[in-house]
Amino acid sequence: MSVPQPPEPIPGARLLFSLDPAVSHLNHGSFGAVPIGVQRAQQRLRDEMEANPLRFFTQGLVDRIAHTRRHLAGFLGADPDGSALVGNTTTGVAVVLQSLGLQPGDEVLSTDHGYGAVSLAIQRECRRTGAVSRVLPIPLAASDEQLVQIIRAGLRPGRTRVLVVDQLTSATAKLFPTAAIVGVAREHGVPVLVDAAHAPGMLSTTVASIGADFWVGNLHKWAYAPRGTALLAVTPQWRDRIEPLVVSWEQESGFPARVEWQATLDYTSWLAAPAGLFTLRSLGVDRVRAHNAALAAYGQRVVADALGVPPAQLPDPGGPEVSLRLIPLPAGLAATIDAARALQARIGERLAAEVAVMSWNGRGWLRLTGQIYNTADEYERLAARLPALLAQR
Ligand SMILES: Cc1ncc(COP(=O)(O)O)c(C=O)c1O
């Protein structure tokens, strides 16, 4: 099988970012990168805030937040009045979990592809309420049909109070068939919380088409928003039950304002987020998606070839827009989270390449992303140098 061709580069795209040119930034997935124009937009808002803090906070800020939320929700195909801006996916998940009113004996069902911090949040909420957490193992190579079947068999109607699934997983870069999962859970009367941290900007699937009771996604990864921008969408039957983590002045206004207004915070990341969407749209949303996914696929193949991993052993993410790709590391490497973090730091220092090293189910994986600021030679350089680094254990 021949290596797929890299996509046409997007000329000048690197110049839109402040990224250190001496480093290959192949891990957009963890913390994103904010285009310079969006940084500037946020700085202008901060200047406005500092010019007259009292006026900024008391004259129309709640409305400006609502206006921004409607715009972002529109882009994501979410109900603008059934969505709330939150700081990040972790916060959105915590808001939902503590609003469920879990009782002793209730069960929170999730999968072994879930994000580590979300698993910790589930465990804490279970400890607090006496509920139990159950984690369904799902093979990495499971097809959509198999995945839905495993989840169907894992639901315990009457006991499972919520099912938590990822739209696109972090450690395993696997696209879950969320709409089908929601359909099955609904047949069994189980609400679903979708962790869609990576979806906004990368995936074209609309929030409405998934139909989850709760959906939360970051705009600060693939939608070029400043960090601290996420959207939590909630179906109508749950909105009155959603409580913020911190009670503040909009508490009596109900959802979404009571979740959005979290006292004196820097809200400029939210207000500047439309500039991120403007950047994405100016470049062409479909063009950016196609470029990033094709480049990640190319990077996966050249690095896998260098490590001697046959194409058949490369996980397929399950969708044409996925811009995260995994490569298995030699057995014994990055088998624990600590070992994965150490290897990631070593690759960053020695090879001037920022990548994600994941440990999943006792095995190490390299996760690469594609973004408009990346070019094929960055993956080729990594491929040329990584085998020697991995050989020095
Ligand atoms: C699947 C998934 N869920 C949740 C998160 C947490 O996102 P945040 O740190 O913005 O809350 C991430 C971050 O990478 C993620 O990949």
Nearest-CA residue for ligand 1 atom 7 is 89
> Which numbered atom of ligand 1 lies nearest the CA of 114?
1
Condensed to tens digits (0 to 9), the pLDDT of residues 191-203 reads 999 999 999 999 9
Residue 166 Cβ contacting ligand 1 at under 6 Å: yes
Residue 209 Cβ contacting ligand 1 at under 6 Å: no
Q: Which amino acid is at 23?
A: V
> Which numbered atom of ligand 1 lies nearest the CA of 198?
16
Instruction: Using the predicted structure, report yes or no on whether residue 52 has a pLDDT greater than 80.
Output: yes
Instruction: Using the predicted structure, report yes or no on whether residue 140 has a pLDDT greater than 70.
Output: yes
> Which numbered atom of ligand 1 lies nearest the CA of 221?
10
Instruction: Using the predicted structure, report yes or no on whether residue 128 has a pLDDT greater than 60.
Output: yes
Instruction: Using the predicted structure, report yes or no on whether residue 45 has a pLDDT greater than 60.
Output: yes
User: What spacing in Å lies between the alpha carbon of 217 and ligand 1's midpoint?
Assistant: 8
Q: What is the pLDDT of residue 119?
A: 98
pLDDT bin (cut points 50, 70, 90) of residue 14 is: very high
User: What spacing in Å lies between the alpha carbon of 40 and ligand 1's midpoint?
Assistant: 25
Residue 229 Cβ contacting ligand 1 at under 6 Å: no
Per the prediction, the chain carries an average pLDDT of 97
Residue 118 Cβ contacting ligand 1 at under 6 Å: yes
**Residue range 177-202: mean pLDDT, rounded:** 98
- CA nearest 57: which of 319, 244, 264? 264
CA 111, CA 166: separation in Å to the nearest integer? 9
> Which numbered atom of ligand 1 lies nearest the CA of 227?
10
Condensed to tens digits (0 to 9), the pLDDT of residues 231-251 reads 999 999 999 999 999 999 999
Residue 197 Cβ contacting ligand 1 at under 6 Å: yes
Instruction: Using the predicted structure, report yes or no on whether residue 1 has a pLDDT greater than 90.
Output: no
Q: What is the pLDDT of residue 2?
A: 66
Condensed to tens digits (0 to 9), the pLDDT of residues 57-93 reads 999 999 999 999 999 999 999 999 999 999 999 999 9
Nearest-CA residue for ligand 1 atom 16 is 170
Residue 97 Cβ contacting ligand 1 at under 6 Å: no
Q: Tell if the pTM clears 0.85, that is, is over it.
A: yes
Q: What is the pLDDT of residue 357?
A: 98
Q: Which residues pair with 84 in a beta bridge?
A: 232
Q: What is the pLDDT of residue 4?
A: 82
Whether omega for the bond prior to residue 6 falls within 30 degrees of 0, making it cis, is: no
